[in-house]
Amino acid sequence: MADQSIAAKARSSSDALLIFLKARTFIALILVFVFFAINAPNFMSTANMVIMSKHVALNAILAIGMTFVIVSGGIDLSVGSIVGLCGMVAGYLILNGIDIGLGWSMQFNTLEICLLVMLVGIGVGAVNGFLITKLHVAPFIATLGTLYVARGAAMLSSDGRTFPNLHGNPEYGSDTFRWIGAGEVFGIPVSICILITVGILAAYIAARTPLGRHIYAVGGNERAAGLSGIKVNQTKYFVYLFSGFCAALVGLIIASQLVAAHPATGDTFELNAIAAAVLGGTSMSGGRGRIAGTIIGACVIGVLSDGLVMMGVSSFWQTVIKGLVIIAAVVIDQAQQKLQARVALQAQAALGK
């Protein structure tokens, strides 16, 4: 009797620890938030909140696409370059339209521009998917290749120059382009609305659709997934297409926010996206990860870097701190996995008695 209650107590304490570990990124976010609220002047001001959430949104959108890719067992290094390329395509279309010869050019309104840009992002994703599934190039190498190609293409599109003054032209209906970066819906900045939409969509796919389940299965064990009748290649195509789509959205938002497109935009964004996903509990070996976790991970990174800036910490130290946080996150994640496996084994052993 006494033994049982001790065992029960031990179990409930390890259960509590497990819940604590599972919520660790969220707890970290709260701690970071409270820390800066106390130490950084003006941190809690509405203006700062809006700016910060806009920063977070960019990384979070990329990280959502990245989460699916990583969960499926792959990696997408090309997203930063896709952001740059898509910004340039948007800028080019607003300024020049498409020259169809004979001195004529085709001009587009904002919606058409957005659709074309998304098509470009999805197109690069399709190339990634093709290389990985049909030509069997390792994801790391394939997307490293498209990273360079897309960045080079962005540079070529303007000879390395910036497309300035993307105010659009009311005659063509493209003057509303600025709304993406500066507009609001019910008082919420558009970029946040996009994050919420993409986040809900991705979380829904992950939790409630066969496609989502397939992504997890392919990442967990590709062979078993294939033998279970899952169309492995289609699943992989989807994650790279979706990642390219997310990157295109970010490219549009940045071009609109800056009212300009620079070909170097988005450099190393892919690393921030990977960091956010990992911080949120996504396993680099595939099969495990949650969209909500990724968004919280992106928040931690965003709050941390903006807060440190406001406190006047040197950017060199910021980089060091960011690295340490990521390493700590992975170490704690390992501990959680071990504990979780132990709890499951205990429950199984208790059953065997």
Contact set with other proteins (CB under 8 A): 7, 207-211, 213-214, 216-217, 220-221, 223-231, 283, 286-288, 340-342, 344-353
Distances (CA, A) of 253 to 48, 87, 184, 291: 19, 8, 13, 21
Smallest separation (angstroms) from other proteins to the CB of 71: 10
Query: In sequence order, what E strands does the chain have?
Result: 98-101, 104-106, 184-185, 188-189
Coil/strand/helix, residue 333: helix
Query: Which of residues 167 and 338 has its CB atom nearest to other proteins in the complex?
Result: 338
User: Whole-angstrom Cα distance, residue 300 to residue 286?
Assistant: 22
Distances (CA, A) of 140 to 69, 72, 219, 243: 11, 13, 15, 14
The CA dihedral of 199, 70, 208, 30, to the nearest 10 degrees, is: -50
Please identify which residue in the block is written with the tokens 């209906």: 173
Torsional class of 259: left (φ above 0), alpha (ψ -120 to 50), beta (otherwise):
left
Residue 216, strand partner residues: none
Smallest separation (angstroms) from other proteins to the CB of 147: 28
Query: Which of residues 143 and 235 has its CB atom nearest to other proteins in the complex?
Result: 235
Query: Which of residues 3 and 159 has its CB atom nearest to other proteins in the complex?
Result: 3
Closest CA to 211 of 244, 246, 236, 243: 236
Smallest separation (angstroms) from other proteins to the CB of 16: 16
Smallest separation (angstroms) from other proteins to the CB of 222: 9
Smallest separation (angstroms) from other proteins to the CB of 311: 40
Contact between 109 and 115 (Cβ < 8 Å): no
Smallest separation (angstroms) from other proteins to the CB of 218: 9
Query: Which of residues 42 and 285 has its CB atom nearest to other proteins in the complex?
Result: 285
Query: Which of residues 39 and 209 has its CB atom nearest to other proteins in the complex?
Result: 209
User: Whole-angstrom Cα distance, residue 167 to residue 147?
Assistant: 29
Tokens of 24: 């660790």
Query: Which of residues 106 and 345 has its CB atom nearest to other proteins in the complex?
Result: 345
Query: Which of residues 169 and 346 has its CB atom nearest to other proteins in the complex?
Result: 346
Smallest separation (angstroms) from other proteins to the CB of 12: 13
Contact between 159 and 23 (Cβ < 8 Å): no
The CA dihedral of 220, 222, 228, 232, to the nearest 10 degrees, is: 120
- The string of DSSP letters for 296-315 reads HHHHHHHHHHHHHHHHT--H
User: Whole-angstrom Cα distance, residue 7 to residue 282?
Assistant: 32
Smallest separation (angstroms) from other proteins to the CB of 109: 31
Smallest separation (angstroms) from other proteins to the CB of 299: 26
Smallest separation (angstroms) from other proteins to the CB of 326: 22
Task: Give just the sign of the alpha carbon dihedral 270, 272, 276, 279.
Answer: positive
Say which DSSP state 155 is in. H
Query: Which of residues 40 and 239 has its CB atom nearest to other proteins in the complex?
Result: 239
Query: Which of residues 15 and 184 has its CB atom nearest to other proteins in the complex?
Result: 15
Query: Which of residues 20 and 204 has its CB atom nearest to other proteins in the complex?
Result: 204
